[in-house]
Amino acid sequence: MSKIIGESLNNIPWQDKPEGLNAPVWRYSANPIIERHAIPNSNSVFNSAVVPFEGGFAGVFRCDSRSVSMDIFAGFSEDGINWTINHDPIVFEGDEEITKREYRYDPRVIKIGDRYYINWCNGYHGPTIGIGYTTDFKTFHQLENAFLPYNRNGVMFPRKIGDYYAMLSRPSDTGHTPFGDIFYSVSPDLTFWGKHRYVMGTIDGDASAWQSKKIGPGPVPIETDKGWLLIYHGVINTCNGFVYRMGVALLDLDQPWKVKARSRNYILGPETTYECMGDVPNVTFPCAALTDADTGRIAIYYGCADTVTGLAFTTVDELMNYMEEYPLVDEA
């Protein structure tokens, strides 16, 4: 048995695992929970992040407009399933050089102290990692970009590692990145980031081909008594284009760039109509995970075909046992 280190969340969205299912993650039966036209001018709502907030839930949502501009919007829910999303995008206060908008997409959110920190892919002469915070999901403050272009999928840890804030990211390039590995970086002040460490990369050959083209961190790492549980995305390049699936790894608690375990099998991939058909077919892209320390339950929010938002469920023991049953031996 493994234990999540964190808070109780008695109202975590949940459905029990279907009887006879031979998989560690299962879908919410009423998916997708957020349709593409959730607000008046949205073309799609996907790759979004949620956190517990004031007895319910708040989130930051990627809503691409009908002109297909990419921006992030605040939203709220009582149950984590039915969402009301603001019709206007988030406006950040801060240095006008940094708050100048090119595009914003694929947010992650984590609470540290009394602040909810937001990471997103920020357009600043190319994609980089934006950092901001809010205390109420009404007023938002933007800090300095974490890195030079080009970088995507910045995900902060939910507490300091030693004396430093810590982040996982995936350095990229100017285009639709044909490569990608996960790196770890730290900061004393959320302004200056360094001490970069390689965490893990793609897998050549057929040992784990679903993650052969690129990988990137997904939801905020989940602290357990055995290490940081990392749900991430992996990509294979097929004759029909990229296919995005979810994987799981376990990182060392004190030195999170050290991989203790990693599954060679994916834990969820595109199978349903809403995952296989949309603006970008064949995508399951995780960006958020709610956890309940009492039960070990995990609720995963993920983008489906770059069009709608889905919800899936698992437990800490399901994921730990799956890594043990299907280990990626060479990378562990």
Beta bridge partners of 224: 4, 227
How many residues comprise the chain?
332
How high is the pLDDT of residue 285?
98
Top-level class of domain 33-325: mainly beta
DSSP-assigned letters across all residues of 195-211: EEEEEE----TTSSGGG
How high is the pLDDT of residue 184?
98
Q: Is the entire prediction scored with pTM above 0.95?
A: yes
For residue 8, what are the contacts with CB-CB under 8 A and spacing of at least 6? 292, 293, 294
How high is the pLDDT of residue 329?
81
Separation CA 138–CA 274 (nearest Å): 31
How high is the pLDDT of residue 330?
59
How high is the pLDDT of residue 173?
86
Other beta carbons within 10 Å of 331: 17
Query: Could you read off the pLDDT of 288-312 as tens digits, one per residue?
Result: 999 999 999 999 999 999 999 999 9
Q: Which residues of the chain have pLDDT under 50?
A: 331-332
Would you kindly state where each structural domain of the chain is located, as residue ranges? 33-325
**Which letter does DSSP use for residue 98 in this model?**
H
